[in-house]
Amino acid sequence: MTKTDIVILAAGKGTRMRSQLPKVLHKLAGKPMLTHVLDAANAIADAHKIVVTGHGADIVRQTYPESAFSMVKQSEQLGTGHAVKCALGELRDQAKVIILYGDVPLITPTTISKMLAAVDNDHISLLTIELPNPSGYGRIIRDNQGQIEAIVEQKDANHEQLDIHEVNTGVMALTAELLHAWLPKIGNQNAQGEYYLTDLIAIARGAGYNINGIQPTSASEVEGINSRQQLAALERTYQLQLAEDLMASGTSLADPARFDQRGALSAGSDNFIDINCLFEGTVTIGSNVSIGPNCQITDSHIGDGVEIKANTVIEQSTIGDGAVLGPFARIRPGTQLGSNTKVGNFVETKKAIVGNGSKINHLSYVGDAELGENVNVGAGTITCNYDGVNKHKTEIGDNSFVGSNSTLIAPVSIGQDGFVAAGSTISSEVPVGHLAVGRAKQRNIPGWKRPTKNN
């Protein structure tokens, strides 16, 4: 038996979120909770995924226009057993089935695999955990041999059962065949008038099957979210795990509690990240990189030995080895900085290709531009890339020098070794090696008298 069907329950309303958005679409680490579960499910080879939706089914569908999962609608939420029953038609013959939850986002592929490995024709598996405070959860009832024999919901439990600290996480795995056989047998004669999936355990025992109790690697894997407070708490737990993984791989963090990763971050070794940095999307960092406080880096690659100073924002860009950026640099999409480049304070770049060793140190806008090597762009230089309708390109050759406060009106090019006098407005080509002076000539007027005050 190698086929795996993964049923993800996501029909609940999530009343306590007080939101128009279905609960499972609320984000953890920048990604909807349901996406976390789907990603874990995707790590299981050949798994067929079935998402059971109810409240906000259309929004869930629209959120995943191309995702390879089936969706079944549970129009009325009559309980977890009823929810899984809605998915029966999607299960494949001879598949092993695992039940996951769209609001339990941190389940890992390792635990899913362990659960599936413990299923065979006469074993079902159940994910349980010991909690210091088991309140609210279904309690695990074991016989005097220690075998799991039933789950009793909190609201149906007697005093003795309420003292049990081993609880049901809700995650269960068994064959499709047994689900087909047993789900129709579940009734709703209980305190909540719901069809409890948990009743399967007693049914399984009654039919002579054994239940393998499996435990997760960490409690966060089975933490379910019902409120924004719980979501924020799990976010911190998860961020701390990501911070620990990063440190374990050779990057130092000034404070692991002030680090946020929303996406995939990979880093070499001997990097240092100061407080309050945020990494989004796919970010790769080389080695010996130093990142100052309050930086935001999105979908970018940072080369070796780069120094990024405080309050720098980098999006969809590539930063060459040994570059120095910031403080307060804004590197917008399509920027490619060569090695040993410098982009200083209050400089904005966009679609700018900057050759090795070039410098834009102060107060500039460089957009839709291609700079050669060892170019020096003086303070306050602006590429006027937009004529009000179209964007145009500025090209600056190797070893050129652009004096401070120049405006370069694109399309325009400055040849290699070109020199632009400070304060110039450049609207036509500067040939190789020329000096361009594009400003009004200074006149000095001798004997000038200051105006005097009228009475």
Please report how close the Cβ of residue 134 comes to ligand UD1 at its closest, in angstroms: 9
Stretch binding ligand UD1 (CB under 6 A), from 77-85, 265-273, 285-293, 310-318: 77-85
Please report how close the Cβ of residue 230 comes to ligand UD1 at its closest, in angstroms: 11
Contact indicator for 246, 279 with CB cutoff of 8 Å: no
Does residue 128 bind ligand UD1 (CB under 6 A)? no
What is the residue whose two structure tokens read 């500067």?
A: 430
Is 55 an annotated catalytic residue? no
Q: Is 316 exposed, middle or buried (0-12, 13-18, 19+ CB in 10 A)?
A: middle
Closer to ligand UD1 by CB, 188 or 361: give it: 188
Please report how close the Cβ of residue 315 comes to ligand UD1 at its closest, in angstroms: 35
Contact indicator for 98, 84 with CB cutoff of 8 Å: no
Stretch binding ligand UD1 (CB under 6 A), from 9-17, 208-216, 277-285, 374-382: 9-17
Does residue 224 bind ligand UD1 (CB under 6 A)? yes
Residues 6+ apart with CB under 8 A from 268: 250, 285, 286, 287, 288, 289, 304
**Which string of x and - marks every residue 431-450 that binds ligand UD1 (by CB under 6 A)?**
--------------------
Q: Is 159 exposed, middle or buried (0-12, 13-18, 19+ CB in 10 A)?
A: exposed
Distance from first CA to last CA of the chain, Å, rounded?
A: 104
3-state secondary structure of 313: strand
Does residue 418 bind ligand UD1 (CB under 6 A)? no
Q: Pick the binder of ligand UD1 from 82, 205, 301, 330 (CB under 6 A).
A: 82
Closer to ligand UD1 by CB, 137 or 365: give it: 137
Residue 448 burial (CB count, 10 A): 6
d(CA 113, CA 134): 26
Closer to ligand UD1 by CB, 146 or 193: give it: 193
Q: Pick the binder of ligand UD1 from 29, 33, 51, 83 (CB under 6 A).
A: 83
Binding residues for ligand UD1, how many (CB under 6 A)? 27
Closer to ligand UD1 by CB, 169 or 356: give it: 169
**Burial code of 6-33, b = ≥16 C-beta within 10 A, e = fewer?**
bbbbbbbebeebeeeebbbbbebbeebb
Does residue 153 bind ligand UD1 (CB under 6 A)? yes
| Closest residue by Cα to residue 37 from 245, 299, 225 | 225
Closer to ligand UD1 by CB, 78 or 275: give it: 78
Tell me how far the alpha carbon of residue 224 is from its chain's centroid.
Answer: 19
d(CA 154, CA 194): 13
Q: Pick the binder of ligand UD1 from 4, 35, 125, 168 (CB under 6 A).
A: 168
Helix axes 33-42, 109-117, angle to 10 degrees: 50
Does residue 182 bind ligand UD1 (CB under 6 A)? no
Q: Is 166 exposed, middle or buried (0-12, 13-18, 19+ CB in 10 A)?
A: middle
Q: Pick the binder of ligand UD1 from 119, 148, 151, 297 (CB under 6 A).
A: 151
Stretch binding ligand UD1 (CB under 6 A), from 100-108, 208-216, 273-281, 342-350: 100-108
Q: Pick the binder of ligand UD1 from 22, 32, 105, 138 (CB under 6 A).
A: 138
Closer to ligand UD1 by CB, 157 or 360: give it: 157
| Closest residue by Cα to residue 359 from 383, 345, 294, 350 | 345
Q: Is 393 exposed, middle or buried (0-12, 13-18, 19+ CB in 10 A)?
A: middle
| Closest residue by Cα to residue 370 from 383, 357, 354, 382 | 354
**Which string of x and - marks every residue 16-55 that binds ligand UD1 (by CB under 6 A)?**
------------------------------------x---
Q: Pick the binder of ligand UD1 from 198, 212, 220, 300 (CB under 6 A).
A: 198
The DSSP 8-state label assigned to residue 118 in this structure reads T
Q: Of 123, 165, 301, 362, which residue is the catalytic one?
A: 362
Does residue 9 bind ligand UD1 (CB under 6 A)? yes
Please report how close the Cβ of residue 166 comes to ligand UD1 at its closest, in angstroms: 11
Please report how close the Cβ of residue 177 comes to ligand UD1 at its closest, in angstroms: 21
d(CA 378, CA 368): 18
Closer to ligand UD1 by CB, 154 or 316: give it: 154
Binders in 382-411 for ligand UD1, by CB under 6 A: none
d(CA 227, CA 233): 10
Q: Pick the binder of ligand UD1 from 28, 137, 211, 221 (CB under 6 A).
A: 137
Residues 6+ apart with CB under 8 A from 28: 36, 105, 106, 225, 231, 234, 235, 238
Stretch binding ligand UD1 (CB under 6 A), from 167-175, 200-208, 286-294, 305-313: 167-175
Interface residues with ligand UD1 (CB under 6 A) are 9-12, 52, 74, 77-80, 82-83, 101-103, 137-138, 151, 153, 167-170, 196-198, 224
Residues serving a catalytic function are 362
